[in-house]
Homo-oligomer: A and B are copies of this chain.
Amino acid sequence: MNTLSSLDEMIAALRCLPGVGPKSAQRMAYHLLQRDKPGALRLARALGHAVESIHHCAKCNNFSEEEICALCRSPKRDASLLCVVEMPADLLMMEQAQCYRGMYFVLMGRLSPLDGIGPRELHLERLVRRAQENTCEVILATNFTVEGDATAHYITILLCAQGIKVSRIARGLPVGGELEHVDSGTLAQAVLERREVTG
């Protein structure tokens, strides 16, 4: 048998993608080699370039190609408001809802003890330092899932201990709902109806 090392390596490498098992990795490799070599080369370049150039914004922790991202540098944003979201996609949803003109902090996850993600893994000490800078109110916009709620609760305790005002976006979202999958109107309403919370 021909061992085809570079095909095997390609199939193995595709398995780094979440949700891709051996069968789909094989199907992907065959597809690219047979029908879309330009697509494969474009993907190779995009991966290399992204890994090299994308880091985390020093202020909001979102993916950024610059030390401080454009949103954090913008003079049009209200620096007294800091909205905490789980993922970059949630920040995008907030922006699309056009209901908020403050700053953000992107957790890049949520507390999830079963997955070994605790306060340290989420770098919550960085959030506390960021909130202490010149923030009047921290708005918690983590998902209304068990983990998102637990994360919000934990952050509330941390920030209230520092005397920082904390609010939670309203439960206008369905229970178990995720920001990424909600319509802009509902999300805007939830921001409008946010309530102050205390530890």
Name A residues whose Cβ lies closer than 8 Å to a Cβ of B.
1-7, 9-10, 12-14, 16-19, 24, 26-34, 36-37, 39-51, 53-54, 57, 62-66, 69-71, 87-89, 95, 108-109
Collect the chain B residues with CB atoms within 8 Å of residue A5's CB. Answer: 65
Smallest Cβ distance from A142 to chain B, in angstroms? 16
Nearest chain B residue, comparing its CB with the CB of A69: B2
- Contact in complex: B47, A10 (CB < 8 Å): yes
Copies of this subunit: 2
Q: Which of B16, B50, B65 contacts A42 (CB 8 A)?
A: B16
- Contact in complex: B51, A33 (CB < 8 Å): yes
Nearest chain B residue, comparing its CB with the CB of A66: B2
- Contact in complex: B13, A43 (CB < 8 Å): yes
- Contact in complex: B2, A49 (CB < 8 Å): no
- Contact in complex: A51, B40 (CB < 8 Å): yes
Q: Which of A27, A39, A44, A64 has the most CB of B within 10 A?
A: A44
A41 to B14, CA, bound (A): 11
- Complex A-B: 23 CB contacts under 8 Å: A2-B62, A2-B71, A4-B54, A5-B65, A6-B65, A9-B49, A10-B46, A13-B39, A13-B46, A16-B42, A17-B17, A18-B27, A29-B50, A32-B50, A33-B51, A33-B54, A37-B51, A40-B47, A41-B47, A43-B47, A44-B44, A44-B45, A44-B47
Smallest Cβ distance from A113 to chain B, in angstroms? 18
Q: Which of A1, A46, A53, A71 has the most CB of B within 10 A?
A: A46
